A = this chain, B = another copy of it.
Amino acid sequence: MDLRRALAPRRTAHAHCDIPCGIYDPVQARIEAESCYRIIEKYHASSDEVFRARCLIVKEERAELAKHHIDVLWSDYFKPEHLEKYPDIADTCWKAAKQASQVKRTVDLEEARKLLELIDRIDEAWKGTGGQTSTRLPA
């Protein structure tokens, strides 16, 4: 299966997606993923049971928010024409969402680092497709 061909004839169907051209920024996902990273660090630095239980509770909800922001970028921001320039972005978003689920499951700092990397790759594609100027207001 060729993704470019598969998506080509559907461009018109997707065209409505550019209204409204909302505000998007992968930093929203990154901030939640950074929370997960710090929480895991603190989890390992502590031996207090109450604190550790709280780490798992808050990480669960922060990772869910990271996942939500990734889903929004994937289903709302990215459009078929972006896939031509960044053919891997479908897979990257998919992996990032799955990695956010993985971060819920684990206290392995490496998994949180992988999530940050995947979000940074989405960020590159967002910047490379003009996201910074088209989806944020100038200061």
Contacts and interface: CB of A to CB of B under 8 A. Distances in A.
Given A57-B57, A101-B17, A104-B54, A1 B87 contact: yes
Main secondary structure of the interface of A (DSSP, over half): helix
B14 A51 contact: no
Is the interface on chain A under 10, 10 to 19, 20 to 34, or 35 or more residues? Answer: 35 or more
A88 interface: yes
Nearest to A6: B91
Contacts of A56: 50, 53-54, 57
A91 B7 contact: yes
Contacts of A35: 22-23
* Count of this chain's copies in the oligomeric assembly: 6
B38 A137 contact: yes
A107 B20 contact: no
Contacts of A21: 38
A107 to B, nearest CB: 6
Contacts of A102: 16-17
Interface in A32-88: 34-35, 37-39, 42, 50-51, 53-54, 56-58, 60, 67, 71, 74-76, 87-88
Interface of A: 1-4, 6-7, 10, 13-14, 16-17, 19-23, 25, 27-28, 31, 34-35, 37-39, 42, 50-51, 53-54, 56-58, 60, 67, 71, 74-76, 87-88, 90-91, 94-95, 97-98, 101-102, 104-107, 116, 120, 136-137, 139
